[in-house]
């Protein structure tokens, strides 16, 4: 099992390029199941979740051609096996994304319940209820969701009980081939939803309103092939912004979309970091000599992303004062706090709030990554800690970050991947 060995104390300097968004690439790949024609996708990140999705698409009968340079061509000419078995998707939380496309294209689907990070419940019931409103018959048993719609799906008004990104994406894909109009109320507004809608429209779908809380989908009888480039990964960009802030470094983050990380950059500026737009798709961040504590509450986009909460907590361990971090999206997303405490952080948990007192001198120690974003927070803490930190279970970080140790090392970090003995 791979580990990261990090020696802290080096401010990061130079340029780090942001990869394509994993959370955009996954639904885009699932959308390829909606058409019998080839779909070419560019800027696909080389991360473990993408490999899982590739294996899943192959399992359904789709062909995948690796074009090199992060480009894939997916051709689902015929779907011979409309299911997502547990043994294929057990490490990925996005397995439910294929539920809508499979039942819309073939009239049937059998999908294992999501696996992946243990950060809290993912409301699969929202997907199920939405598909039922579209006319599917859905059963849940033995860890699987089975959906049937032999006569096709029918457009309707769908009111989500709470905002759900994957639920919105799943319904978008299913509704694209449904008869009539579907209106999605309380839709997620994340950039990844907008990116998926743009791909679907290129394929011939008729979607209006993506990026707002109400999306209209006029169903069509068939979708065609298309070519599409995935947006930049805003969570990766935010992680590197946080890395510069915590180390007092000077980094150019290139290939990003500055508007997508506005909530984070606002907080980092308040904390004392200097952040400026450095040309199209680039941000320059300089860490302040003395950081100040700033409270944050996670919210759906355009609010502060839950996927950046752990990294921000690491930064706040180096800030003067007490910061209150409130997590509203996932109920178990403070598991990294105890590992940060092992490194010397002063953190007290009170329900869905974490009180972080700083600045604290962190020291290197053996720690364990509990989930994808928690592992990133431990990397950030290790970059500023004295001595060496050994991070175990970095397969979590490999699920969502493309060659993060190489990118950080190129900016001066003393980090290397080591194998367990």
> Among all residues, which ones are annotated catalytic?
117
CB-neighbour burial class of residue 297 (10 A; exposed 0-12, middle 13-18, buried 19+): middle
3-state SS, residue 302: coil
d(CA 165, CA 70): 24
d(CA 16, CA 282): 10
Q: Which residues pair with 291 in a beta bridge?
A: 319
Dihedral pair phi/psi, residue 322, rounded to 5°: -115, 125
d(CA 160, CA 366): 42
d(CA 108, CA 223): 18
Q: Which two tokens stand for residue 95?
A: 């397995």
Q: What is the DSSP letter of 68?
A: E
Q: Which residues pair with 355 in a beta bridge?
A: 324, 348
248: nearest Cα among 278, 273, 276, 275: 273
364: nearest Cα among 351, 381, 377: 381
Sorted by sequence, the CB contacts under 8 Å of residue 421 that are 6+ apart come out as none
The H or E element containing residue 263 is helix 262-271
Note whether 396 and 48 are within 8 A (CB).
no
Sorted by sequence, the CB contacts under 8 Å of residue 51 that are 6+ apart come out as none
Integer-rounded Cα radius of gyration of the chain? 21
């Amino acid at each position: 099992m791979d580990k990261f060995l990090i020696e802290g104390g080096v401010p990061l300097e130079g340029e780090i390029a942001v990869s394509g968004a994993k959370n955009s690439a996954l639904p885009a790949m699932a959308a390829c199941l909606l058409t019998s024609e080839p779909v070419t996708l560019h800027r696909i990140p080389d991360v473990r979740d993408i490999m899982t999705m590739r294996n899943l698409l192959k399992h359904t009968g789709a062909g995948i051609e690796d074009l090199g340079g992060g480009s894939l061509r997916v051709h689902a000419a015929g779907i011979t096996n409309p299911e997502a078995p547990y043994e294929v998707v057990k490490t990925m939380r996005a397995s439910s994304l294929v539920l809508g496309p499979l039942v819309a294209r073939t009239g049937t689907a059998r999908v294992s319940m999501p696996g992946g990070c243990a950060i809290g419940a993912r409301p699969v019931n929202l997907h199920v209820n939405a598909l039922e409103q579209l006319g599917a018959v859905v059963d849940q048993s033995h860890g699987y969701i089975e959906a049937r719609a032999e006569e096709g799906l029918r457009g309707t008004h769908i009111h989500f009980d709470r905002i759900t990104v994957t639920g919105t994406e799943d319904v978008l894909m299913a509704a694209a081939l449904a008869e009539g109009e579907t209106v999605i109320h309380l839709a997620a507004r994340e950039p990844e939803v907008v990116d998926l809608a743009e791909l679907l429209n290129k394929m011939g779908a008729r979607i209006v309103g993506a990026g707002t809380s109400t999306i209209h989908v006029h169903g069509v009888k068939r979708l065609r092939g298309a070519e599409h480039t995935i947006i930049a990964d805003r969570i990766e960009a935010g992680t590197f912004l946080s890395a510069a802030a915590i180390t007092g470094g000077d980094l150019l983050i290139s290939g990003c979309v500055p508007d997508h990380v506005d909530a984070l950059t606002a907080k980092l500026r308040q904390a004392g970091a200097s952040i400026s737009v450095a040309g199209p798709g680039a941000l320059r961040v300089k860490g302040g000599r003395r950081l100040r504590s700033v409270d944050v509450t996670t919210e759906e986009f355009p609010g502060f992303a839950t996927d950046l909460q752990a990294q921000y907590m690491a930064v706040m361990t180096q800030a003067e004062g007490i910061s209150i971090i409130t997590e509203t999206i996932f109920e178990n997303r403070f598991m990294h706090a105890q590992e940060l405490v092992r490194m010397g952080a002063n953190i007290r948990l009170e329900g869905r709030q974490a009180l972080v007192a700083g600045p604290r001198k962190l020291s290197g120690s053996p720690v364990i990554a509990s989930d994808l974003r928690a592992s990133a927070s431990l990397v950030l803490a290790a970059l500023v800690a004295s001595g060496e930190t050994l991070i175990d279970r970095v397969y979590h970080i490999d699920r969502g970050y493309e060659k993060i140790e190489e990118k950080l090392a190129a900016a001066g970090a003393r980090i290397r991947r080591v194998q367990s003995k």
